[in-house]
Amino acid sequence: MTESNKKPTSSNEEHPLSAEKHDHGCTRRLPAWLKRPIPKGPQFEHVIETLKKLKLETVCGSAACPNRGECFSHGTATFMIMGANCTRNCRFCAVSHGTPTPLESDEPQRLAQAVAALELKHVVITSVTRDDLPDGGAVHFALVIQAVRQKCPKVTIEVLTPDFQFDTSCLDTVIKAQPDVFNHNVETTRRLTPEIRSGADYERSLAVLNYVAEQKGPIVKSGFMLGLGETDEEIRQLLHDLRSAGVTMLTIGQYLRPSEQNRPVAKFYPPEEFDVIRQIAEDMGFNHVAAGPFVRSSYHAEISLQQQSQKDQPQKS
């Protein structure tokens, strides 16, 4: 992290792209480290066709993830359940906001079929937030986990859930389905949460993570974005808060503005700054930290889980 986060620099000291702080457009040229190759290849097409055939949503497409091409080309995808419309309207997010659709009773089976067809070893299941449902969709999450377990028993399962309004009965429902990883993203710092996350609460997210950690079941994971206007001190405090809540796996990525309707990027962090932040997090005791411009919650999730599991194994004397 650098002092540029703490106070404005002179025009001669600014990063070449620091003008993004004052640019409310979303079409400006990205720095070299944020350019990705155009997705292509048979595996990419296989994923697309499988998802289309089984009528499944992915956060890869709905949230305009920059890793979509790479992940699809490697035969991986993050499934988004319970429809395409979210009941919240966060300023960073590209997922549609609107009236949610009824839950589809066959979605768990269709998703399990996709996992089998794509021969996945690790599956990530997330959802839109469904504040309209009494249980926030917790039972549906559990049904999806159970369907995948039944059809593909060797697959490891990671869930990325909403906060369920910190209803512990909802959390218990998901935990009892025994996902291998329970992920809930805090997304940003305490100060920026009211500006960035519609209907969310920083302390509530920490409470969700802490509650799951106290159950001593799945690995507890969280993540946040950089480039929303946070300071160095806020980043350190956020890391401290997450570690205190019992989080052991962490993802840190660059916020990229999906459209002109979303919050402008305040700063593009170069890879070396992510390296510094990763080291700070590791020094705080996180078991696994994925940090970089393209890191997202489910990016290389299988590899991250493998590395975490290796660290959790008792060392031979």
Cα separation of 46 and 125, whole Å?
19
pTM across the whole model: 0.82
The pLDDT confidence band at residue 2, using thresholds 50, 70 and 90, is low
The string of pLDDT tens digits covering residues 15-57 is 333 334 334 344 456 777 776 665 666 777 788 888 889 999 8
Q: What is the pLDDT of residue 77?
A: 67
- Number of helical H runs and strand E runs in the chain: 11, 10
Cα separation of 302 and 231, whole Å?
31
> Which sign, positive or negative, has the C-alpha torsion 288, 294, 300, 301?
positive
Q: What is the dihedral of CA 184, 228, 61, 306, to 10 degrees?
A: -50
Average pLDDT over residues 228-253: 97
Average pLDDT over residues 174-196: 96
Residues facing residue 222 across a β-bridge: 250
Percent of the chain whose pLDDT exceeds 90: 56
Give the lowest-confidence range in 112-126, 158-172, 227-241: 112-126
The pLDDT confidence band at residue 182, using thresholds 50, 70 and 90, is very high
pLDDT of 124 > 60? The answer is yes
Q: What is the pLDDT of residue 165?
A: 96
Percent of the chain whose pLDDT exceeds 70: 74
Q: What is the pLDDT of residue 88?
A: 75
Q: In terms of DSSP H, where are the helices of the chain?
A: 42-53, 59-62, 68-73, 107-117, 138-151, 168-176, 193-196, 202-214, 232-244, 271-283, 301-312
Range among 91-100, 131-140, 300-309 rated most confident: 131-140
Q: What is the pLDDT of residue 9?
A: 36
The answer to whether the beta carbons of residues 199 and 167 sit under 8 Å apart is: no
pLDDT of 303 > 90? The answer is no
Q: What is the pLDDT of residue 314?
A: 54
Residue with tokens 């429809």: 83
The answer to whether the beta carbons of residues 91 and 188 sit under 8 Å apart is: no
pLDDT mean across residues, the chain = 82
Q: What is the pLDDT of residue 213?
A: 98
pLDDT of 278 > 50? The answer is yes
Amino acid in the structure at residue 191: R
Cα separation of 138 and 172, whole Å?
9
Average pLDDT over residues 68-89: 70
How many CA atoms, within 13 angstroms, populate the side-chain half-sphere of residue 22?
6
CB count in 10 Å sphere of residue 53: 12
* CA distances to 112, 139, 149, 179, 248 from 155, in Å: 10, 20, 7, 10, 21
Give me the phi and psi of 237, to 5 degrees please: -65, -40
